[in-house]
Amino acid sequence: MPPPSCPICALQASPAHRAELELGRSALWLLRHHPLPAPLPGWLLLDARRHLSGPLAFSDAEAASWGLAVRAASLLVQQLSGCERVYAIAFGEGAPHLHLHLIPRHVDDPASAAWRVADLYRAVERGERPAADPVAVAAFVARGRELLAQGPLALP
């Protein structure tokens, strides 16, 4: 059983979060937009459905499926945002439940290059840089749901 204090488990069980920010879920994975205020439109999170800290705790089924899930979610970020690259970062410190950050990297935006994206993240968190427009985030989520439902990019 997950600890009752896990914020990721709480998000996955929240009907309000599902209605607002979730793009889709499968038996093993859940894809959602970064909560508001979001650092960038299209900054997604790929969660394990099961409460686990990271790949060290994967079952054989999760280990076999993970690469397909990361690829599908990354392609979705790229198709929707038009970015050239998609960063994938997971620390598991804010919550000890695997949530892979999938970050759209536009090569014409130096503020999002490599570790500078962490400065961007903290600047939004401190209110020093405007967060992503919630209307743009909602549009991204809506289009993401359509793409996931069409099949080729469905989560495994």
Contact residues for Zn ion, defined by CB under 5 A: 2, 6, 8-9, 51, 97
Token code pair at residue 101: 């950050």
- Shortest Cβ 18–Zn ion spacing (Å): 16
CB of 13 to Zn ion, least distance (A): 10
In the bound complex, which residue of the shown chain has the CB atom lying closest to Zn ion? 6
Considering the complex, state which of residue 48 and residue 153 has its C-beta at the smaller distance from Zn ion. 48
Nearer to Zn ion, 95 or 120 (CB): 95
User: What does DSSP say about strands 29-33 and 99-105: parallel, antiparallel, or unpaired?
Assistant: unpaired
32 vs 51 by CB, closer to Zn ion: 51
d(CA 97, CA 53) in angstroms, rounded, equals 5
Non-local CB neighbours of 109 within 8 Å, separated by 6+ positions: none
Can you tell me which residue has the tokens 């970020």?
A: 77
End-to-end CA distance of the chain: 24
Q: Which residues pair with 100 in a beta bridge?
A: 46
Asked whether 72 and 153 are in contact (CB, 8 A), the reply is yes
In the bound state with Zn ion, the residue whose beta carbon lies nearer, of 2 and 37, is 2
**Least distance from C-beta 142 to Zn ion, angstroms?**
27
Kindly state the smallest distance separating residue 121's Cβ from Zn ion, in Å.
22
